[in-house]
Amino acid sequence: MEFKDYLKVIRRRWPWFAGVVLLFGAIFSGFYVREQPQFLATAKVLIRIETADLYLNDPTIRPQMPGLSTATREALLQSDPVLDNAVLLYGAQWALDNRTLDGSSEPVKAAFAACEVSIERRLVTKAELARDLLALVKDKPVPADLGSGTYADLLDTESTLHRRVADRFATVKAARVSEKVQLVNLTCTGFDDLEAIRLVNAVAYAGEDWSKEDTVKNVKNVLKKSDKEQEDLIAQKKSLGVTAAEISELESRRALAQASVQLYHQRRDQFVSERRRVERLQAKEREEEHNGGTPFGRPRAGSDEVRTIAAQLRDIELQIEHVLEVHTIEARDYKQLERKRGVLVKQLSAAKTNAAEERRIAMEAELSYYDEEIADLDQRLTGTTAEITQIAEQLDVMLPAREELGRIETQLARVAEVQTRLKTLCEILQGFISVQKAADLGVQQPKSMEKSWAFWLLMSLVVGLGVSYFREYLDTSILTEYDVRRHLNLPVLGLIPEMSKLGEARGMEQGDLARAPLSESFNTIGTLVRSAMSQEGWKSVLIASANPSEGKTFVSIQLALSLARKGLRVVLIDSDMRKPQIHATLGLENATGLSSILEGRMEAREQVGEAIGEAATPGSTLDAYIQKTEVPNLTVITSGPVPSSPVQLLESQRMRDLMTELRERADYIIFDTPPICSVGDCITLATIVDVVLYVVGAGYSEQQDATWAKHLLNNVQANLLGVVMNRMEAHRSREYYYYYTRDRKNVRTGA
């Protein structure tokens, strides 16, 4: 379906659509009239959030106030401590406004004066003042609007009345003015403007009083608890019988002794290493002496004389080697070098012997020194280790006291830090919530229905469309040309509007058919029918419909008129012998007719003789059964008396003979038949006529019935020419009506 098809559905179902919209309009009007006006009370509160954070986020204060919410500055005004104060202020304000408390009495004046609050405004702004005022009327019952109980119940935070009144503050909403400004708007909407003002002011002044009085009291209470905790810890510390200084001194001594032991071990390891080195040197000396000394020319370290002589000896040996190589020296010089070498060898041997003795003595002295040092260190290690053991035993005895002392010292440090922080907080805490503007007048708000009219309108349109389309979905009748193409698959030859909507019914009853505005529509249909039938030489057409009241009789008459006005000889036959209508519509007699002819009252041959002008007895010819109308070329054969079996008559040979005779004397023969789904007369006639014109009443013919009727016609191989849609909405054929009426106006006015 295209978009225009959806619009057509709305146009067809406009009563349903309009009804739903009107229903929603009536419901909206009812709600609007019944809705009571509401009033808005507003108070402005300043919250210094930096100071509030110091107080609210303090880890010592937070556990003391489990009902305090600090998620946002708005939530702070809805916390339990603030609401408890708000209940007191609200109850005291009720007592003043309802004159339960006499504002001019001395006790009331004294209560206002004691709390330094002006009595002229008669506004309760402090929780202490509210408690004093409620104490004056604690035995009196509260107003019925608040519930059941006495004013004393408001002082009890666990009472049912107190909780019930606290629930009323859920209507008070807090919202920031902006992120940069620390102002918060407190608003309350209610049907009673005075009640809304009481609730908003109670929350505003409760928050202010709580931040000024209760916060400092809470800090001081926590500080007192901290002082008491500090005193208890100091007493526990004294009862241990040992001080941290004593334990610290013992631990210092143990640490020093452990460091000394570590140093002694390092020095002893050094002496042991040196002693082993000396022992290795001694063993090496003895091994060399046993092997006959060291290799020649390699002096032992530690003797300067040996090194000097060895160097001289090496020079002499080099000279001798040089002389032997060049052979330039004389024998006398060579012998002199040999003698000198012998002397140096003897000197070197004596020097080595003296050096070895000196080294042995030095090594023995060095080993003796190392032994003495090692023995001294071992003695020191023994003493220091014993001291460490003694200190450890003392510390083990003090271990429980030491752990408890450490815990106490930690707690004392924590308490000292808390005391310092709380003292600083007391100095800067001056009340971080202040009322900038109290609510003094409730502003009447627009009704909620005024804001939702667009929603209601949208809902009415949506529901109206839904109902319209749902009604269209439930409607299984054939309404449009699209339905004909979809379910019957036949061409639509014409659209005939509903007569009652065009005001033509009276014209038809009066027989003024030739001048009916619908004649233009039927002229078009007649032209199409004539064009299709003339090509095949057809003359007879049967007007059929599936159900009664679809307008087949009306279409039969109008089609006959259309063809007759074109100068064609037309015979209109009313073959509905059960419920005939043509004679009544055209104002004709029905004493004789088709049933009379088919029952054999007159032989077909005699009827033909009368028709061609041969002499015959009056009343016995075919013309006696054919009635003329006011329209030239149009004759009618009415149904005649109701027979016992119409189907047998229509199936008889006389009916076929009649068709043969009528084809000879008329250009077109039009049959009006009973409904197909009611009786079988139409199916019988469909087998002997040339074409069938199917009339569908828009909204009168169900899809199933129309399809079944077509199926029956197809079964007898009827030649379906097309469909004429009758009883269509007026706008579908409006152009014909406008065209005709405009022409008639021009004729009458001469314009």
Q: Whole-angstrom Cα distance, residue 411 to residue 229?
A: 9
- Mean pLDDT value of segment 118-127: 79
State the pLDDT confidence band at 739, using cuts at 50, 70 and 90: very low
Question: Tokens 């939530």 belong to which residue?
Answer: 75
pLDDT one-digit tens code per residue, 394-414 = 777 777 777 788 888 888 888
Q: What is the pLDDT of residue 538?
A: 92
Q: Whole-angstrom Cα distance, residue 597 to residue 638?
A: 11
- Mean pLDDT value of segment 488-516: 61
Residues in the chain: 751
- Of 39 and 544, the one with more pLDDT: 544
Question: Tokens 């007649």 belong to which residue?
Answer: 526
Residues 6+ apart with CB under 8 A from 356: 285, 289, 300
- CATH numeric code, 483-507+518-749: 3.40.50.300
- Please check the confidence at residue 20 and state whether its pLDDT lies above 80: yes
- Mean pLDDT value of segment 492-510: 59
Q: What is the pLDDT of residue 73?
A: 64
Q: What is the pLDDT of residue 568?
A: 93
- Mean pLDDT value of segment 422-451: 73
SS3 letters across 478-504: CCCHHHHHHHCCCCEEEEEECHHHHCC
Q: What is the pLDDT of residue 416?
A: 85
State the pLDDT confidence band at 699, using cuts at 50, 70 and 90: confident
Q: Which of 61-75, 92-106, 643-657 has the lowest mean pLDDT?
A: 61-75
Q: Whole-angstrom Cα distance, residue 395 to residue 401?
A: 10
Beta-strand pair 492-497/720-728: parallel
- Mean pLDDT value of segment 316-325: 72
- Mean pLDDT value of segment 216-233: 81
SS3 44: strand
Beta-strand pair 570-574/634-637: parallel
State the pLDDT confidence band at 662, using cuts at 50, 70 and 90: very high
SS3 letters across 216-276: HHHHHHHHHHHHHHHHHHHHHHHHCCCCHHHHHHHHHHHHHHHHHHHHHHHHHHHHHHHHH
Residue closest to 641 by CA, chosen among 603, 589, 682, 684: 589
Q: Whole-angstrom Cα distance, residue 243 to residue 401?
A: 9
Q: What is the pLDDT of residue 691?
A: 95
- Please check the confidence at residue 518 and state whether its pLDDT lies above 50: yes
SS3 letters across 523-587: HHHHHHHHHHHHHHCCCEEEEECCCCCCCHHHHHHHHHHHHHHCCCCEEEEECCCCCCCHHHHHC
- Of 505 and 15, the one with more pLDDT: 15
State the pLDDT confidence band at 747, using cuts at 50, 70 and 90: very low
- Please check the confidence at residue 440 and state whether its pLDDT lies above 80: no
State the pLDDT confidence band at 690, using cuts at 50, 70 and 90: very high
148: Cα separation from own chain's centroid: 43
Beta-sheet strand order (sheet of 691-697): 492-497, 720-728, 691-697, 540-544, 668-672, 570-574, 634-637, 627-628
* pTM as predicted: 0.47
- Please check the confidence at residue 92 and state whether its pLDDT lies above 80: yes
125 close to 110: Cβ distance less than 8 angstroms? no
- Please check the confidence at residue 724 and state whether its pLDDT lies above 50: yes
Q: What is the pLDDT of residue 716?
A: 93
Report the mean per-residue pLDDT for the chain.
79
Question: Tokens 């752990």 belong to which residue?
Answer: 403
Task: Return contacts of 21-24, CB within 8 angstroms, 24+ apart.
Answer: 21/460, 21/461, 21/464, 23/460, 24/456, 24/457, 24/459, 24/460, 24/463, 24/464
- Please check the confidence at residue 505 and state whether its pLDDT lies above 60: no
Q: Whole-angstrom Cα distance, residue 594 to residue 672?
A: 12
Q: Whole-angstrom Cα distance, residue 597 to residue 327?
A: 185
Q: What is the pLDDT of residue 735?
A: 44
State the pLDDT confidence band at 81, using cuts at 50, 70 and 90: confident
pLDDT one-digit tens code per residue, 570-610 = 999 999 998 999 999 898 998 889 988 888 765 544 544 54
CA angle (727, 680, 678) in 5-degree steps: 50
- Please check the confidence at residue 443 and state whether its pLDDT lies above 80: no
Helix (H) or strand (E) run with residue 626 in it: none
pLDDT one-digit tens code per residue, 44-71 = 888 776 666 666 666 666 555 554 555 5
169-173, 311-315, 670-674: which is most confident: 670-674
177-191, 454-468, 499-513: which is most confident: 454-468
**Rg of the chain, C-alpha, whole Å:** 66
- Burial of residue 566 (number of CB atoms within 10 Å: 0-12, 13-18, 19+): middle
Q: Which of 289-303, 323-337, 564-578 has the lowest mean pLDDT?
A: 289-303
- Of 219 and 196, the one with more pLDDT: 196
Q: What is the pLDDT of residue 582?
A: 92
36-45, 49-58, 322-331, 530-539: which is most confident: 530-539
pLDDT one-digit tens code per residue, 355-380 = 667 777 778 888 888 888 888 888 98
